[in-house]
Chain A
Amino acid sequence: MEAENKDVYGVLAEFRNPKELVDAAESVKKSGYKDFDTYAPFPIHGMEKAMGIKESPLGWIVLGGALTGMIGALALMIWVMGYEYPMNISGKPFINIPIYIPITFELTVLLSAFAAVFGMIGLNKLPRFHNPLFNVDRFDKASDDGFFVCIEATDSLFAEEKVTKLLQDNGATHIETVYDSE
């Protein structure tokens, strides 16, 4: 391989099934690595514990969206119906909060949903079309029936041979070094 002058992105190891993947992730975490990730075609239960992942902050982002939607909707309707363009509808008060509930609810949900989707995409740093992992042919299986661990070179403990050994000891079926460019 003429990989001498290329940057190493990390070491990718394939495992046979979700159980092996969770165990491998646990052992990688115990060995002190921080910059690593596991790849599977579906979310695996218990992986967050094995990898030591913190609770997602997405809920707070959505709360922000919800409050914006709610306050925005109420402010808009109170201003329009009360001050900008008051309309006498069957002699009811101009500022009539119960009547505003449906639209307030809908706009709260709408902005929360936007916050949830774009928050998720942002937290995941997507879209990212040039991921070094896509250079690995086997990695196609990660969306089908492959289970991978990748320890990244940015980790302070990273040393190619040591990492390869660790993954081998955990029963990896394939181990490959991933380079930044092809």
Chain B
Amino acid sequence: MSTDYQYVPEPKLVKGDHTFGSITDIIAKTPLSPTPKLWYLAFGVANVLLITLLGAIGYLVWDGTGIWGLNNPAGWGWAIINFVWWVGIGHAGTLISAILFLFRQGWRTAINRFAEAMTIFAVMCAGIFPAIHVGRIWVIYWVFPVPNQMAAWPNFSSPLLWDVFAVSTYFTVSLLFWYVGLIPDFATLRDKAKSKVAKISYGIAALGWTGSFKNWWHYEKAYMILAGLATPLVLSVHTIVSFDFAVSVIPGWHSTIFPPYFVAGAIYSGFAMVLTLMLIARKIYGLQDIMNIDIMEKMNLVMMVTGNLVAFAYLMEGFVAWYSGYIYEQGIFWLYVVGPYAWGFWILMFCNVITPQFLWFKKIRRNVAFTFVISIIVNIGMWFERFMISVASLATDFMPSAWDYYSPTLWDILTYVGTFGLFFTFFLLFLRFLPMVAIAEVKGVMPQADPHNYDEETKEFDISKTEPVVVQQEQTV
């Protein structure tokens, strides 16, 4: 007899020796304990940036989009770049909470709450840009299908209107999904809280959740349906965002590869942002057992796959330009490489094509410092990708006589930097007052949670039942 093959047990999702109670304690501790000084400092900085954003928007509303660096061929500048970038960042959250849920990936429970919060705040930042870029923001309600004083209706065949529906649906569904996930954890905080204010506020948010199985039964169904709805939604949103470009006829935009390529890029940058934030938070809040290295490695693998998809898309852009025989497409691609924005192109190539290649190495995937640096480079790279698509294509279109070089003004920069203030203000409030890990879900994936892992007689937890059985095969003589 010899063993032909055997199963290697999966590494435990939660490291260390945790019980249900210790999971609650480690996560519920942060929202229920006094505010640390460092938090006030970070919140102050975020607030300063938020005020900058409000000031930049205020001046824009006062003076018009002329304060931005827009010129005649490049009628869309940083506003669309930042919009696409922020929406893309948001996508990792939905991907983690919905797609990985449908694929039964237990490791998502450690980061899904965190990533979903990031999604919601990133989409808020994104939503600002299309709203303010219209110039006359006080009539922004014209994009909604409500009859206005001119009896005019929006044009439903415009990709920009599709964006309105896509992004607002995305935001609403993400918020609902997030809140549904939070209900049982609000109940935990309500039961753990000592102060009256906390008890009442978490109690109201928990809607009187008891943990009754009859409730869990509908709850799980609702959660699965929401995951099933959010999965095509997340793909559709960035597909529709890519239609803003792909449905037009500008060379460099009019390309069928855009929808999948935008989605891959969104997931790529989104995972990078989750990693950036997660690696800081796990250190500060001592969540290394839950947001552990195995999870970081899995996220790095997703980044490697999507990063290479994006790199492949760049290659295809060049190939299609050549193969199509369409001189304007060839011209714009050549201008990417050696034209006025070549510096952007090469930054992009460095960040998005070379960086993911480091992730082939297991040592780097499991190294916190390397991952942190890579995640930041990826975010920069994806910003430059949107820059190249928007600005380089528009500024150098069909007619060389119309070309003009685009550069941002101080107000472009302040508005972009200001959105970080909005993002971090909300994110810090989230870290302070809400459970940053889905408590109920983490407990649900622990081996103790499954009645099959218990001994039939003594009804005690039996670790040996969680180990996969070694399969032995007898050799036939």
Do A and B associate with each other? yes
State which of B47-55, B166-174, B396-404, B405-413 sits at the interface with chain A: B166-174
How many angstroms between the C-alpha atoms of A100 and B232 in the bound complex? Answer: 17
Which residues of B sit under 8 angstroms from A18, Cβ to Cβ?
448-451, 454
- Please give the distance in Å from B27's CB to the nearest CB on chain A: 11
Assess whether A20 is in contact with B459, with CB atoms less than 8 Å apart. Answer: yes
**Could you say which of B156, B161, B173, B220 contacts A109, with CB atoms under 8 Å apart?**
B173
Assess whether A142 is in contact with B210, with CB atoms less than 8 Å apart. Answer: yes
Give the nearest-CB partner of B453 in chain A. A19
> Counting CB contacts under 8 A, is B145 at the interface?
yes
- Please give the distance in Å from B361's CB to the nearest CB on chain A: 37
**Could you say which of A16, A46, A48, A117 contacts B222, with CB atoms under 8 Å apart?**
A117
> Counting CB contacts under 8 A, is B214 at the interface?
yes
> Counting CB contacts under 8 A, is B343 at the interface?
no
How many angstroms between the C-alpha atoms of A92 and B155 in the bound complex? Answer: 13
Give the nearest-CB partner of A66 in chain B. B229
Given known contacts A103-B156, A129-B203, A51 and B213 CB-to-CB distance under 8 angstroms:
yes
Assess whether A144 is in contact with B21, with CB atoms less than 8 Å apart. Answer: yes
How many angstroms between the C-alpha atoms of A21 and B152 in the bound complex? Answer: 62
User: Max chain B CB contacts within 10 Å: which of A37, A103, A133?
Assistant: A103
Given known contacts A39-B211, A44-B213, A106 and B169 CB-to-CB distance under 8 angstroms:
yes
Give the nearest-CB partner of B23 in chain A. A145
Given known contacts A112-B229, A128-B207, A144-B21, A19 and B236 CB-to-CB distance under 8 angstroms:
no
What secondary structure prevails in chain B residues at the interface with A? helix
Mask for A113-146, Cβ within 8 A of B = 1, else 0?
1101101110110111111011000011111110
Assess whether A106 is in contact with B213, with CB atoms less than 8 Å apart. Answer: no
Segment 147-175 of A: residues with Cβ below 8 Å from B: 171
> Counting CB contacts under 8 A, is B418 at the interface?
no
Assess whether B219 is in contact with A43, with CB atoms less than 8 Å apart. Answer: yes
**Could you say which of B209, B448, B461 contacts A126, with CB atoms under 8 Å apart?**
B209
Assess whether A17 is in contact with B459, with CB atoms less than 8 Å apart. Answer: yes
How many angstroms between the C-alpha atoms of A102 and B333 in the bound complex? Answer: 29
How many angstroms between the C-alpha atoms of A112 and B222 in the bound complex? Answer: 10
> Counting CB contacts under 8 A, is A62 at the interface?
yes
Which residues of B sit under 8 angstroms from A182, Cβ to Cβ?
none
- Please give the distance in Å from B172's CB to the nearest CB on chain A: 6
Assess whether B169 is in contact with A110, with CB atoms less than 8 Å apart. Answer: yes
B contacts with A, residue count (CB < 8 A)? 70
How many angstroms between the C-alpha atoms of A85 and B439 in the bound complex? Answer: 51
Which residues of B sit under 8 angstroms from A96, Cβ to Cβ?
157
User: Max chain A CB contacts within 10 Å: which of B169, B222, B450?
Assistant: B222
Assess whether A106 is in contact with B236, with CB atoms less than 8 Å apart. Answer: yes
Assess whether B213 is in contact with A113, with CB atoms less than 8 Å apart. Answer: no
Assess whether B153 is in contact with A144, with CB atoms less than 8 Å apart. Answer: no
> Counting CB contacts under 8 A, is B132 at the interface?
no
> Counting CB contacts under 8 A, is B443 at the interface?
yes
Assess whether A81 is in contact with B213, with CB atoms less than 8 Å apart. Answer: no
Which residues of A sit under 8 angstroms from B230, Cβ to Cβ?
113
How many angstroms between the C-alpha atoms of A126 and B209 in the bound complex? Answer: 8
**Could you say which of A87, A102, A144 contacts B191, with CB atoms under 8 Å apart?**
A144
> Counting CB contacts under 8 A, is B216 at the interface?
yes
Assess whether B225 is in contact with A92, with CB atoms less than 8 Å apart. Answer: no
Which residues of B sit under 8 angstroms from A103, Cβ to Cβ?
156, 161-162, 165
Which residues of B sit under 8 angstroms from A42, Cβ to Cβ?
184, 216, 440-441, 443-444, 449
**Could you say which of A46, A113, A119 contacts B451, with CB atoms under 8 Å apart?**
A46
> Counting CB contacts under 8 A, is B149 at the interface?
no
**Could you say which of B169, B440, B452 contacts A107, with CB atoms under 8 Å apart?**
B169
> Counting CB contacts under 8 A, is B212 at the interface?
yes
Assess whether A124 is in contact with B169, with CB atoms less than 8 Å apart. Answer: no
Which residues of B sit under 8 angstroms from A113, Cβ to Cβ?
172-173, 176-177, 226, 229-230
User: Max chain B CB contacts within 10 Å: which of A20, A41, A84, A105?
Assistant: A41
How many angstroms between the C-alpha atoms of A165 and B459 in the bound complex? Answer: 20
Assess whether B187 is in contact with A143, with CB atoms less than 8 Å apart. Answer: yes
Give the nearest-CB partner of B152 in chain A. A85
Which residues of A sit under 8 angstroms from B204, Cβ to Cβ?
127, 129
Which residues of A sit under 8 angstroms from B225, Cβ to Cβ?
58-59, 62, 112, 116
Which residues of B sit under 8 angstroms from A140, Cβ to Cβ?
191-192
Assess whether B176 is in contact with A37, with CB atoms less than 8 Å apart. Answer: no
> Counting CB contacts under 8 A, is A47 at the interface?
yes
How many angstroms between the C-alpha atoms of A141 and B161 in the bound complex? Answer: 49
- Please give the distance in Å from A40's CB to the nearest CB on chain B: 6
How many angstroms between the C-alpha atoms of A121 and B208 in the bound complex? Answer: 11
Assess whether B451 is in contact with A109, with CB atoms less than 8 Å apart. Answer: no
Which residues of A sit under 8 angstroms from B169, Cβ to Cβ?
106-107, 109-110
Given known contacts A113-B173, A129-B208, A120 and B219 CB-to-CB distance under 8 angstroms:
yes
Assess whether B226 is in contact with A117, with CB atoms less than 8 Å apart. Answer: yes
26 contacts between A and B (CB under 8 A): A18-B451, A21-B451, A41-B20, A43-B220, A44-B449, A53-B214, A53-B217, A58-B221, A59-B225, A81-B153, A89-B155, A89-B157, A92-B157, A100-B156, A102-B165, A106-B233, A109-B169, A110-B173, A112-B229, A116-B176, A121-B207, A124-B215, A127-B207, A131-B210, A134-B210, A143-B192
Nearest first, the 3 A-B pairs at minimum CB distance are: A19-B454, A120-B222, A145-B20
Q: A42-B216, A113-B176, A144-B21 are in contact. List 14 more A-B contacts (CB 8 A).
A: A21-B451, A37-B213, A38-B212, A40-B216, A99-B157, A100-B156, A102-B165, A106-B166, A109-B233, A113-B172, A113-B230, A126-B209, A139-B210, A143-B184
